[in-house]
Amino acid sequence: MRPSGRARLNGTAPEAAGASGAALCPGGPGAPAVVEGPAAEPGGAGGPPRASGWGHDRDPHPRLVLRRWSDDDLVPLSEINADPEVMRWTGDGSVRDLEETAEDIERYEEEWDEEGFGPFAVELIGSGELIGFAGLSVTEFLPEPTHDIGIGWRLGRQFWGQGYASEAAHAVLEWALQDRGLDRVVAVTHLADRASENVAAKLGMEPGRELKHPDLGIPLRVHVIDLTEYQA
């Protein structure tokens, strides 16, 4: 793993949380997040973008930073991945150990290098504590000839119910539109994962077709948002 350059992207277009593409994490209203990334990425190294404007009554001060991965993220992410409740709706529900988590982070960084997007590490401003991830990935498991770009998130259980999931996801959608120029993003959730379905609804995503994971047989729902009509 390489350390994050923490150069800030001017906001204009991450493997998501397994088969569901979304974490078991209730979202809620929250402040805008700051997105940071490598200076070489489109957008340059200007001031930090804020995913503001999606709620006049929301605190204008960001609580989260979305950034690339560093070696220091391995242990805290492995602790999140070791929690059965966090992993309940991810793939077959299996937890992931330290070695598997290291492989995950390596894969996230490879996706950044190859696709120009991937899962962001999400940390709290001030403390710098890693609380999970949120970002984009190609939904390769969907049985379609052309795979969509999916948004996913996974947060530690102690950070549920505080609006962090929707805050981070809103920042990712704004970044996807403005910095990456994407016009469509999906979220794929387990049908029984009500918390993730609620987050998708708060993002303005429309529930679409239902299908089964081709390998695991898990019932899924695909949520869709047209980013050309997105109101951040």
For the record, the structure tokens of 196 come out as: 């993730």
Residue 146 has pLDDT above 60, yes or no: no
DSSP tally for the chain: helices H, then strands E: 4, 8
Q: How far apart are CA 197 and CA 27, in angstroms?
A: 10
Q: Beta strand pairing status for 149-155 and 219-226?
A: unpaired
pTM of the model: 0.77
Selection from 18, 166, 170 nearest residue 100 by Cα: 18
- Give the model confidence (pLDDT) of 6-49 as tens digits: 322 222 223 333 323 333 222 333 344 666 654 333 333 333 33
3-class secondary structure, 177: helix
Residue 121's H or E segment, with its range, is strand 119-124
Residue 176 has pLDDT above 90, yes or no: yes
Q: What is the mean pLDDT of the chain?
A: 77
